[in-house]
Structure 1
Amino acid sequence: MKFSIVALAGLASAVSAASLPARFSLAADDNSPVLTDGQYAYIGNDTSKSTQKLILTSGTNGALTYLAKGAVPTAWQNLYIIEDSVSAISFTIPHSGAVPEHANTTGFGVNEQGLLTHGGKAWFAIDGYGDVPAKEVNWYGAHNSEYMAANLKVVDCATSEC
């Protein structure tokens, strides 16, 4: 079976579109960086909280890890969601892989639009009401009209400043 160069280029492009970069940050719809306090992710900045830009490292099984600035290398944390719920995307405690019941730490990816996904779904949301300066990012795995979609754009640290 022969493949044309065009077919091979298309295949390579499809594979790269579905693969997360090795190291990346996330940006909200308004291109502001997604921040973290080491436990949760936020869109917007609340100066009363100690936050920093969320920079993630991807694993081969769709796992995402976070290491806070200045932390020892073994203090990495896993990102997890709780499927079939509307709940904050969260990080494990440093030095621990323990997650709550029904939590999932694998299956993260990126879609053709460059948005972070889980299981192929870009179902991230924020509380749509209130004037808080920082909105907590949630996994929207169940219906709740209080929340509105939050697109999380993947920003490759190899090609952009992280």
Structure 2
Amino acid sequence: MKFSLAAITGFVSAISAASLPNAFTLVAEGGSTLLTDGQNAYIGANTTTHDILILRGGPNGLVSYTAKNGVPTAFQNLYIIENSVSPVGLTIPHSGAVPEGGNLTGFGVNEQGLFTHGGKAWFAIDGYGDNPVREIYWYAAHSSEYRSEKLYVKELKNYSA
């Protein structure tokens, strides 16, 4: 049986997308761990008002989050809104509802260790100003108001919560 380069590349991409660790955090280019307010993801937010965004990889590139003091059934799913520049979001606890154009699946990690969606590491931060708190965006429509941000997957070994 012969495989084309495209078939092999697609197979490798599928394996990569499925290889998110059981538990992980995301670390931005400057070394900051992403934090959350329970709805969105941030770099540089205050750790007294925001929790570390500890994520869990699931089937088909599904990624979930459970708040530090949340019950296990109050998990939330990470989503992006395809073909847009919009904040990376978390669903409401106990709900899988996403905005129109939202996608819950397809998250992965590439060979460089970057967090991806659909094989693309298209994440960005809002603007270039002096505010140290930066919201994380999915950057599919591209805009000069946003700056690309590499998000590295950092596995949390022996993590249970």
The question of a shared fold, defined as TM-score above 0.5 by the shorter chain, is answered with yes
What CA distance in whole angstroms lies between the structure 1 residues aligned with 2:158 and 2:119? 24
Moved over 6 A (4+): none
**Paired position in structure 1 for 2:144:** 145
**Paired position in structure 2 for 1:9:** none
SS in 2 for 1:61: helix
Mapping 1:1-162, distance limit 5 Å: 15=15, 19-46=19-46, 50-158=49-157
Q: Which runs of 5+ in 1 are unaligned?
A: 2-11
Residue range with higher mean Cα deviation, 36-45 or 49-58: 49-58
What CA distance in whole angstroms lies between the structure 1 residues aligned with 2:89 and 2:70? 18
What CA distance in whole angstroms lies between the structure 1 residues aligned with 2:78 and 2:17? 21
Give the percent of matched residue pairs that are identical in Structure 1 and Structure 2.
62
Please list the CA deviations of residues 98-129 of structure 1 after superposition, one character each: whole Å capped at 9, or x if unmatched. Answer: 11111000000000000000000000000132
SS in 1 for 2:60: coil
Sort the Cα spacing of 1:71 and 1:159 in 2 relative to 1 into closer, same or farther, 3 A: closer
Which residue identity lines up with residue 45 of structure 1 in the other structure?
A
- Could you state the TM-score of these two structures normalised by the residue count of structure 1? 0.85
CA root-mean-square deviation: 2.3
Q: How many residues align?
A: 149
How far the C-alpha of 1:79 sits from its partner, in A, is 0.4
Residue range with higher mean Cα deviation, 117-126 or 25-34: 25-34
Q: Which runs of 5+ in 2 are unaligned?
A: 2-11
SS in 2 for 1:125: strand
What CA distance in whole angstroms lies between the structure 1 residues aligned with 2:120 and 2:97? 24
Which residue identity lines up with residue 39 of structure 1 in the other structure?
Q
